[in-house]
A and B are shown apart, each in its own frame.
Chain A
Amino acid sequence: MNVLFYVSGAIAIIAALMVIVSTNAAHAVVYLVLTFLAMASVFLTLGAPLVGVLQIVIYAGAIIILFIFIIMMLDLGRQTRERERSWLSFPIWLLPSILSIVLIIEFAVVLSGHGTPNSGMVILPKEVGKTLYTHYVIGVELVSILLLAALVTGFHFGFSKCSGENHE
């Protein structure tokens, strides 16, 4: 369990550094996925299975999809073909593949139950749900309002025929 935590923490740090220093946005997205998966592994080793799985679903799923769509829409149109070809060149996908293979092995160990010596410390989703809907029920309501506001804002800003497009 110790080893799993330190390995996934190291992967998270390396991938986060690569996100910061990479010049290509698509490469940065690949490393961002790795960062979030490594953080999910950290959550699993901390005895927080609900949050770990939600990290994969929300961050590595939904938010990364948003980033990929935006990067596709922001494509500046120059040498796209060469960039696509350079994505398939050898050394670029080497480090992400190595890191993700290590992460896959780690997930297999954690989820198969061998790596949970502190299973007494695992906080199950049932307790989280009880806490969330008793002590923090006002927070849940406020977050739902926040998500609704974000939905309306995203629709308003993303709507292409909105007024104010040609002001300047």
Chain B
Amino acid sequence: MSSVPISHVLILAAILFVIGAFGLVVRRNLVFVLMSIEIMLSATGIAFAAAGSKWHQADGQAVVIFIFATAAAEVAVGLSLLLRIFRRLKTVDSDKLSTMKG
């Protein structure tokens, strides 16, 4: 790859993944937790696309398309669960979800 070294792309993907993981751990609002998961999934997609571009294989982009489909399914199920939680508990605070004594 002539322009951008792959290590920089992987560093960018790692930074975005760590930002998403940090938000996932720190935030208590379930909407922000889902947003952090989306950021993490996109960051893994960047890593796959960088690898595919490095070795000039189309497999990286194929895996990124799988990641897109998985993210779409995940956000649909997650947001419908969030809606159900809000209807039942009147809050989206994840600390309030202690009915199972977990």
A residues neighboring B (CB under 8 Å): 1-2, 5-6, 9, 12-13, 16-17, 19-20, 25, 28-29, 32, 35-36, 39, 42-43, 45-48, 50-51, 54-55, 58-59, 62-63, 66-67, 70-71, 73-74, 117-118, 121, 123, 127-128, 130-132, 135-136, 139, 143, 146-147, 149-151, 153-154, 156-158, 160, 165, 168
Contacts and interface: CB of A to CB of B under 8 A. Distances in A.
30 contacts: A9-B8, A17-B19, A20-B19, A20-B27, A35-B16, A39-B46, A43-B46, A46-B53, A48-B49, A51-B49, A54-B65, A55-B68, A59-B68, A63-B75, A74-B83, A117-B3, A118-B3, A123-B52, A123-B56, A128-B61, A130-B58, A131-B57, A131-B59, A132-B65, A146-B69, A146-B73, A149-B73, A153-B77, A154-B76, A154-B79
Task: Determine the interface band of chain B, counting residues with CB < 8 A from chain A.
Answer: 35 or more
Given A35-B39, A121-B1, A157 B66 contact: no
Interface of B: 1-4, 8-9, 12, 15-16, 19-20, 22-23, 26-27, 29, 31-32, 34-36, 38-39, 42-43, 45-46, 49-50, 52-53, 56-62, 64-66, 68-77, 79-84, 86-88, 92, 99
Given A46-B9, A153-B76, A154-B77, A123 B53 contact: yes
Given A47-B53, A118-B3, A123-B56, A42 B46 contact: yes
Nearest to B34: A67
B70 A136 contact: no
B80 A158 contact: yes
Contacts of A54: 65, 68
A139 B66 contact: yes
A164 to B, nearest CB: 9
A128 B65 contact: yes
